[in-house]
Amino acid sequence: MFDCFPRVTLIVGLILFFVPSLARGQTWTTEVVDLSGESISMAADVDGNIHMSYLGGNGMVKYGFRPAHTSRWFTMDIPGAASEGSTHLPTKIALDPQGNPHVCYTPGELKYASFDGKHWNIQQIDPASGQISFTCSVAVAPDGTQHILWYQYGMPGGGYYLHLKHAVLRDGVWMARTVDYEGQTGKWNSMVIDPRGVPNISYDSFLKNELKYAYWNSKEWKVSVVDSPERGGAGGKGNSLILNRDGKAQISYVRDDALLYAWPTATSWKIDTVSQISTNGGWLGYRTRQALDPQGNPHIVYEDGGSVKHAFWDGSHWSIQLISGPGPDPNRYEDIAIDHQGTIYIGYRDASDNSVKVAVGLPQAPTQNPLTQQKPDR
């Protein structure tokens, strides 16, 4: 797919070792992607190739590619995608129907890098809107329509805005809307486009300590509260959204002492406590990412006391695996992708040497996903 890869010079070989695991009978191999990096985002395409965006140690937003049936990672700087001095710059990657990568990042403004099969194109989205910070999300609809989601931190000329915004590319023009006007909404956000092309998002409402879910009904954003202080108060930090086979939302997120999981029933939202955890504080310390295996079961990666862990539904309960233990650096920037054969790829920053690594493992025995048994009406 990528003609530019023969020109890439940084290729780091495969390193094999067993990762400590709390699950019975499952082993992993580990691959080194780059000697340094953070802010990892991953995606698998229909052919089993793995794609990654991350912030390199050289201050550039970088792209990694692992062809299917190999263990070799090819990496490159995305031309024109510098961090511009920002540290802990978040990146998020999504793939279009042709398997081309699209990446968002927020160096004080909203940048969007897209690959057209031959070249990278860099855009600044909503350039006169003011300061943009924290997380962004990007997704591409089945018809190729591009969507982007971000936390609008400031207003033009100064002052705070602190709301979640969404834009869709129509006829070459980005059309932007505010999703939620409540204060400090969307510092943590996640977006998925369903098969009909409808954007679905999860996000936090920080001041109200709520987790919210919204979808676009072609006229307005339909917003519902998933979790709130009345239900125990989780705040929705570090949320990650997927849609199950029935097109219904399943959301992972954290509070200060637990990893939580929410999905809709016929009348409300069901919330599970997956595991008790220890967070390191600060917005970077709250992060979950998830993916579905071929059987439709959710897999979540998250941080616990500086460790990278993997939680997965085995048909009757949540099982937990330790992927990488703690070290001097507490922020691990983990993400997960699962290919069509069920192979699991978990990317993270090594806590000891800051290298970018990917743990590769096979799933446990397939089981039916009971989270899809009860489905709400929209």
Mean pLDDT of 1-18: 34
| Mean pLDDT value across the chain | 88
| Contact criterion met (CB below 8 Å) for 148 and 93 | no
More confident residue, 314 or 375: 314
Mean pLDDT of 65-83: 94
Q: What is the CA 114 to chain-centroid distance, rounded?
A: 17
pLDDT band, very low/low/confident/very high, at 315 (cuts 50, 70, 90): confident
Tokens of 197: 């092309």
pLDDT at 235: 81
In three-state secondary structure terms, 372 is helix
| Contact criterion met (CB below 8 Å) for 280 and 303 | yes
pLDDT band, very low/low/confident/very high, at 14 (cuts 50, 70, 90): very low
Res. 236: pLDDT tops 80? yes
pLDDT at 285: 84
For residue 169, the one-letter residue type is: L
Kindly state the percentage of the chain with pLDDT values over 70. 88
Residue listed under structure tokens 């959301």: 251
How many CA within 13 A on the CB side of residue 283? 13
Mean pLDDT of 177-206: 97
* E-strand stretches of 144-257: 146-154, 160-170, 173-180, 185-193, 199-205, 210-216, 221-227, 237-243, 249-255
For residue 255, the one-letter residue type is: R
For residue 194, the one-letter residue type is: D
pLDDT at 314: 84
Mean pLDDT of 225-239: 86
Closest CA to 311 of 279, 268, 354, 346: 346
pLDDT at 93: 98
For the chain, give the number of residues.
378
Tokens of 93: 């990657």
What are the C-alpha distances in Å from 256 to residues 8, 42, 198, 331, 370?
Answer: 42, 25, 32, 15, 27
Mean pLDDT of 148-172: 96
Mean pLDDT of 73-92: 87
pLDDT at 255: 87
In three-state secondary structure terms, 285 is helix
pLDDT at 284: 86
pLDDT at 26: 61
Mean pLDDT of 39-45: 98
Res. 15: pLDDT tops 60? no
pLDDT at 89: 87
Collect contacts of 192-195 with beta carbons under 8 A, ≥24 apart: 192/139, 192/241, 192/242, 192/243, 193/139, 193/140, 193/141, 193/142, 193/145, 193/147, 194/243, 194/247, 195/142, 195/247
Mean pLDDT of 228-255: 91
Q: What is the CA 365 to chain-centroid distance, rounded?
A: 25
Strand partners, 203: 189, 212
CATH of domain 5-372: 2.120.10.70
Which is it for strands 37-44 and 110-115: parallel, antiparallel or unpaired?
A: unpaired
Res. 136: pLDDT tops 70? yes
Mean pLDDT of 251-255: 95
In three-state secondary structure terms, 13 is coil
Res. 370: pLDDT tops 90? no
Res. 173: pLDDT tops 70? yes
pLDDT at 27: 79
Res. 189: pLDDT tops 60? yes
Res. 325: pLDDT tops 50? yes
